[in-house]
Structure 1
């Protein structure tokens, strides 16, 4: 679908978002305006250079009206917060809905990998997970979004026509056949709907 129906509803326990090149600007748009309390956890993988300290938490904490945290191993995935994957590790969601980190090899040259997060979250949340793939210059996220769909979750991709880098959204569309292909304004509405219920 290329637009969000007026009667759209989806009860998400978690929303997993993946982005790469151009992702900070895209995330600023779709996360902007989130208000507490959130009924879902929002978990984000953004490709970053491994050797650099992430500044995502302070950057977004100043912009958002909800708690923003870096995901920590063994910490529960709690509704109401936005979590960012730390650089240099794969971020996973365990069956009991807690975070774990892995030093396994990069996937599609990326660690953290969007695929790894999405696949593990799909196992943990099944049909109460929403997955969103944004702009990026490789194909990470396509396989993971297909896993979200296979488990009955909601799938959405940024419209490649407005993405800064089209490789990632095009791959996700090709492999996962998502329910929604939307511009950022539409993804923002979708996120707010499923996270606030």
Structure 2
């Protein structure tokens, strides 16, 4: 038995999670909170990454946000999350939410953004994927292993059977409603300020 490997890459009975459904669930969750500027840090060539990316893009289109969809290259490591966070910070226009390729990437984002003084989830919400132990620090989509499809496993003498499971609800921790729009004005010195202080 193998778990998680794409169906065309195994000759054994295999169990798969519906990664596209999980990514759509993450976007649905963020949109329900009021987010529209949602970025996806993808998982590169890792198993399930292409399906999660497709699910994110599909959900953004379904919510009428296809024109705002942004995919930042990454992989399934904390380092890639940190690098993605630095890339977003350098661009000067942070999204209000990020769907990370997995929980390790989400933690990298979380640590780097907070190190830069960004309030998570007050300014940027982050949703990971996998519901790992790291997810206790974040919001994460949970791929279940507690329900097996009725047709799985297949016959020992027959072709390999590929079971699919749906995703459960989100464990919440690092996602919230987006911040209110910034109201900028000029102070007596001519510097731009907002309700939160000076704008750099």
- TM-score (structure 2 length as normaliser): 0.42
Instruction: Select the structure of larger CA radius of gyration.
Output: 2
Larger RCO (alpha carbons 8 Å, 6+ apart) = 1
- TM-score (structure 1 length as normaliser): 0.42
